[in-house]
Each structure stands twice: as C-alpha cells, then as structure tokens.
Structure 1
Amino acid sequence: MNHGGNIYRFAQYLGCLPEQVVDFSANINPEQAVDLDCLQKVQFEPYADPDYGLLKQALKVRYPQPVDVDIEVFNGASAAIFALLRWLQPRDLVLYTPLYGEYAQIAGHLGCTLHNINRFDSLAMAVPKNSTVIFVNPSTPDGQLYDMRALLTQWQAADCTIIVDESFLDFCVADSVVRHSTQYDNLYVIKSLSKFYGCAGIRIGFILAAAQAIKALKRFEPAWKLSSFDMAYMQQALANAAFIEQTRQQTAHRRDLLGQALQASNLFVRIYPGQANFLLAKLANDGNGYQLQERLAASRLLIRVCDSFVGLDKSHVRFAVKDENAIAQLASCLSDIPL
C-alpha cells in the first residue's frame, strides 16, 4: 500500500467492505460542510456553465485576492498541477523535498531537469537562474508551516517561476502568498478543496495567478471540466463560513490527541510537529513501517508508509487526523504492539 487513500485495494486484501476500513492514510477532513439533502434540486440539464461563474464567485468570496489576479478551476488539484506544468514546460524544475510524487512524475513525462532540495537540511540553498520552483506549504508529509517571505525574495532574485501548493493551508491561521502576485507575475498558487471540506470524491482544485497568466493557461483547457453536482456541492460548502473556524479548532484538538497516542505508544523516536491535518512519525530503531502497517491491518486500520517521499524511508509513517473514536482505536492498537 504505497499510496494513501486506496481503501478499496486494502479492503479487498482484508476481505472486508471499504466502509469498514479506518483510513489514517488519506489526509481528508472526517467532517463535511454540506448536508446532501440541500442538493436534491440540482439540475442535470442543460449543460453546466462552462465559465463556472457561480463557483468562481464563491471562491473569490472565500479566498480574497488582489485586483488583476484570476482563478482557473480544475477537476482536482492533481489535474491543476499537470495542466500548469504542461503549459509552462519548465526546463529546470526545483522540488523542495520531501513532497508527494505527482510533481516528479509529471516532470519526468515532460522531460524536465529535476533539482531536489531537502528543505529539512538545505532550505536556503541557491536555485538555478530562471528555473521553476515548487514548494508545498504547509508541507507534506510532515505538515510544517513555513514563513514564505525570505524564500519568495530569493526566488524572485533568481527570476524563477514560482508554484506554491497551498492544498493544506486552510487548516492553518495563515495568509496565502497570493497577495504577492501583484508584485510578481510569475507566481502561481495551487489549492485543493477536497482535503479541508472532507469531500475526496468531489474533484475540484484551482489555480490563482495574474489575470494575464490565467488567460493564457485557459486557452489550452477544455470546457465542462466540472459537473453541475460538483459545483453545486462546493458552492454550498464554501458558503458555510462557520465550518472554517470549527474545523481549525477541531483539527488542532484531534491532532493533539493523535500526537499523544503516538507518543504514548513509545514506538516512535520522533513525531514531527505538523500544523496540518496529519502527523509524520519516525519509528524507533529504524523500524519497518510496512510491518507496523501489517499489524494494524488486523484491526482494519490503514496508515501511510512514506518511503515514496524523496528523503524519507520505510521507518517514516504518516497518520491523518481522524475523529476521536478512530484515534482512540488507533491508540489501543498501538499500545498492544511490542516495542
């Protein structure tokens, strides 16, 4: 189980139903902002608005942006990542690792020259002139929230194209770097809605950038990337303003409970202090995360082993923040595992 979120394969392996799996591998909010009853009147004819007018209006209310910054929506953040890199066609691509593998995979398909910078050890390392840099904030899989000002200054001085992935920023009280777009045209901000709004099956992500850049990017995009139902769902979710602070407080509380459960097990030599909706931990004595995964599988608990992240190995495992009952179940199972 190299990738998080594949509960179907895991359930098949266990011989159970997917809904019987407690999925700590996928960092999706266990709460939702929308009562599905309010979507009963969604119209499936005529075609959906190809300009996504109402959805974009809701996004602009939820995510204020400077004048001359625009939005393009996509069928999930992964689709946004692919479309942006395919359009930019970068020659030199700088990845601040560890981070998830989609960026490196797409770069490989596009023939980019990859430059990996380990942000744990070499955050201030110089980057190639005119390169494209990708930074995830808060980071994954460790959840560290970075102050971006010095990095933005460094990248601008090197005339870089800057991509900042803020898919988990909603879980934090922090400002988006999009406000810097008015001073730097080559800044692109990617956001995912599925993580924070607990709707992995509703595939909506978007890019914020200078209006002229968005206009150029849109020329290569098809119409009707999103369904009427997806858009109606997300418009309702974005309108639930109370859900934002509720989720942040709830996530912080549950993240503390999760950290306490991991600490109490004495199985880990380090628990990284994340600010998102997951925690990264390193097993003591360079333990094997796949063995821990196998032990937890007996209780239908699925975790993420992080050896697919550049710079990490199979002793690193990630736990998503779930509800109190799931965390209590995990704590009980961990306490039964011998040191």
Structure 2
Amino acid sequence: MSNKSATASSLLPDNIAALAAYSSAKSEKLSGTTWLNANESPYAKNLELSIEDLNRYPDPQPQLVIERYAAYTQLDNENVLMTRGADEGIELLVRTYCEPAKDSIALFLPTYGMYKVTADTHNVTINALTQALLLNGSVEEIVTAVASAKLVFICNPNNPTGSLTPLDKVKAIASALAGKALVIVDEAYIEFCPEQSATALISQYSNVVVLRTLSKAFALAGLRTGFTLAQESVLAPIRKVIAPYPVSGVVASIAAQAIAPDAITSMRRQVTILNTLKAKLIDWLEASDCVLKILTGEGNFVTLKLADRNYFKTALAQGLVMRAFTLYGEDDWLRISIGSEQELEQVKIWLDGLQMPAATASLAGKEVS
C-alpha cells in the first residue's frame, strides 16, 4: 500500500470504513435484453425540452413544479420540497434531525435498503424491527419497540414485500409518537394504490412526513426527482440543510411537464394497465410448480420464492433480467418488475420452459401471502 492510500484510509471515520454501500439493481452490471429488475416503468416519455439559460443558476425550488405537485397531492405549496429523488429526502431527514453517535432511527425489515445505508453513513444507530411487528403488532407494541428513535421509516407499500400498512394504523402510530419522533411514510409506489396515501395526515400531524418520487408510476427513473411532503415547521430546518441549487433547470422543465394535469391522467391510465398485467403475472406464477411462495401486495412488482435458485441463471441465459436477492435468510427469492405485455411474455416463456428438480418435487404446494 502506498503512503498516499494509507493516509487516505487513516482519515476515514470508522463508520464510513465499515460502511456496506447500497447495491442497486443497476450496480449489478448484468447483461440482457428484457429488464425487469429495477421496478422501472415500461413507458418512455415524449417530452419537449428547450433550455436557453443554462448559464444562470436555477430556481432552488422551481415554482411551477411545486405548484403542480402541491395541486396533485392536495397540499399547500409550503408543504412541498423538491429533491433529487426520494433518496435525497431520506438523507436530508437523517442529516437534519439526527445527531451522529447519539440518535437512532427505526425501520421494519425487510425494507428499502437506503434507510440503513443513510443512517450508517451519518453514524446514526439503527433500531431494526420487523415487518411482522408493523403489520401484526398493536400500536402500543410498535411504539414500545420504537423506543427513543428520532425517525420511524414506514415504506408503504413496502419494497420488496409489497405489504401495505393500513392508513388508520399509520395515523395511530403518528398520534402515539407525537412530540417524540417523525413518522416518515415512503410512498414511492403509492400511485398503484392512491387511496392509501398518508398525505391527508400532514395537516393533522406535525410529525408526519411523506416521501414521493417520479421514478415509478411517473416513468422518470432517469430524472432522479422526488418530493418531501410535511408541515412547514418540519421542512424549514431541512431547507437550511439542503444544497443551494438541488434541482437543475433541465430537471425542473421535465418534471413540470410530467406532473401537468393531462400527464397525470396519462399516468393513471398506465397504472391501470400495469395493475392488470400484474394480476396476469400472478396467475402465471401461481400455476407454476417452480414457484414456492408469492408475496402479493401493492406496487409495480411481484416478489416470489423459487424452488431452485438456478432458475434465475436460466432466465439470465435467455436475456431476462430480474432481481435476485436474499430474503428471510434465504437466497432463492426473486422480484419481478411489471413491464410491458411483451416483456412479461418473456417471463411466461421462461416459466413454461422450467423443469422442477426432483429434490423439490415433493414439496407440497406453494403459499400465497
């Protein structure tokens, strides 16, 4: 090791040296022709772009985007903060409200990995609870388990399980934690079940924060645009912490078009199609002996347990890329994003071509939850 690299390593805080970075679907560097691994929308946007003032700094919070998103969520402009994806919202909340080496956050595993990575990055302790507690435990049990955590993250619908925490339960948790913790409801997939949104709670509870994104149903994963929604008293300190110019003029222009009233109508129509295709995919999976368990819930994906982990390699050999991962301590789980009808046909071809190995042939049925 050179002296230069040794010096650099010695400068690292212990929590960063030990940090396990988030592994995104795109970081796996797989090759294929059908991509159903990142919960992206199959619908490409046709947008107009005419930017002539890139020599000028952009509006830190572009007014038209804020106004349109506030109208879409039925909130006031002051309740909306535009960020670089919902991920920046997570980071800003931890950085603003948590003191390193002192405070903690609570999350319910398995869930979205960036909550943990962000907390680890800022040397904030993680109170790792379970989805089972969140879904089946009483509000009193949940609040007791949350203990002194400053932030409580509820991914709703949850990634990767698709489970949904009832809105009444979110409300009760927020009420019980008033003055003690912020309850952050990550609604990256809420457009697939909009009636379950917690945005209506924001006017009632100063400790409710909702995270949103344009990456999923709005089909703009490549734009990296999200929103943090909360009462102004919550957002005010975050506005002090956020970078001076977090949103480029190009991004603002595209985002404004994407959330115009006619574009929202189009998005809702696409969501209806994707939900219908998801139901068809679940039917195929239920009919396959090569699938042992299906986690049915909300969102533009289906998570399932394979009878043989090698089935994933078979899919890759066919150019079909899905998300393989370890869940509940088992490495034979797969998440399939809902793509176009043509893309899902490739899943059907893959399923139909699989042969169940003798070792698992005796397993009795599969469980759907």
TM-score range, shorter chain: 0.7 to 0.9
Q: Structure 2: where are the runs of 5+ without partners? A: 1-21, 357-369
Q: 1:73 to 1:114 in 2, by over 3 A?
A: same
Amino acid at match of 1:86: R
2:130 pairs with 1:118: yes
Structure number, greater radius of gyration: 2
Determine whether 1:183 maps to 2:204.
yes
Distance 1:133 1:8 in 2: 29
CA drift at 1:214: 0.9
Q: Residues 236 and 312 (structure 1 numbering): CA distance in 2 closer, same or farther, change over 3 Å?
A: farther
Conservation of the 8 A alpha-carbon contact between 2:83 and 2:247: yes
| Partner in structure 1 of residue 332 of structure 2 | 315
- Which runs of structure 2 are paired with 1:210-289 in the superposition (5 Å)? 210-239=231-260, 240-284=263-307, 287-288=308-309
| 1:157-196 map, 5 Å | 157-158=176-177, 159-196=180-217
1:333 aligns with 2:350: yes
Q: Which residue in 2 is equivalent to 1:15?
A: none
Larger relative contact order (C-alpha < 8 A, sep ≥ 6)?
1
Aligned positions of 1:1-339 closer than 5 A: 3-6=23-26, 9-11=29-31, 21-32=33-44, 34-36=45-47, 38-39=48-49, 41-45=50-54, 46-65=56-75, 70-89=79-98, 91-120=103-132, 123=135, 124=137, 125-126=141-142, 127-131=145-149, 132-158=151-177, 159-239=180-260, 240-284=263-307, 287-288=308-309, 291-307=310-326, 311-339=328-356
The TM-score with structure 1 as length reference comes to: 0.87
Kindly state the Cα deviation for residue 160 of structure 1 after the two structures are TM-superposed.
2.6
Is this contact kept in 2: 1:68–1:210, CA < 8 A? no
State the 1:278 CA deviation. 0.2
**d(CA) in 1 for partners of 2:295, 2:134:** 18
Tell me the secondary structure at the aligned position of residue 315 of structure 1: strand
Amino acid at match of 1:57: E
Deviation at 1:297, TM superposition (A): 0.9
User: What amino acid does structure 2 have at the position aligned with 1:83?
Assistant: L
Are the structure 2 counterparts of residues 51 and 241 from structure 1 closer, same or farther at C-alpha, using a change threshold of 3 Å?
Answer: closer
CA RMSD of aligned residues (A): 2.1
**Would you say the 8 A contact 2:81–2:228 is kept in 1?**
yes
What's the secondary structure of 2:241's corresponding residue? coil
Shift, 1:129, TM fit? 3.7
Q: How many percent identity over aligned positions?
A: 22
Q: Deviations over 1:229-252 (max 9, x none)?
A: 211111111111321320221011
* Residue matched to 2:7: none
- Between the aligned partners of 2:134 and 2:193, the Cα distance in structure 1 is 24
1:77 Cα offset (Å):
1.3
5+ long unaligned stretches in structure 1: 12-19
**SS of 2:194 mapped into structure 1:** coil
Q: Quick one: structure 1 residues 4 and 110, their matched pair in 2 at CA, closer, same or farther if it must change by over 3 Å?
A: closer
**Cα gap change, 1:115/1:280 in structure 2, threshold over 3 Å: closer, same or farther?**
same
Offset at residue 151 of structure 1 (A): 3.6
* Structure 1 consecutive aligned stretches of length 4 or more whose deviation exceeds 6 Å: none
CA distance in 2, matches of 1:198, 1:245: 11
Distance 1:122 1:203, change over 3 A: closer
Stretch of structure 1 that moved more, 97-106 or 171-180: 171-180
* CA 317–325 in structure 1, closer or farther in 2 if over 3 Å, else same: same
Q: How many residues align?
A: 320
Partner AA of 1:258 in structure 2: L
TM-score, normalising length from structure 2? 0.81
Deviations 1:21-65 (A, max 9, x none): 311111011114x413x22x2334333222311111111122112
Distance in 1 (CA, whole Å) between partners of 2:26 and 2:188 is 19
Residue pair 1:259, 1:279 contacting (<8 A) in 2 also: yes
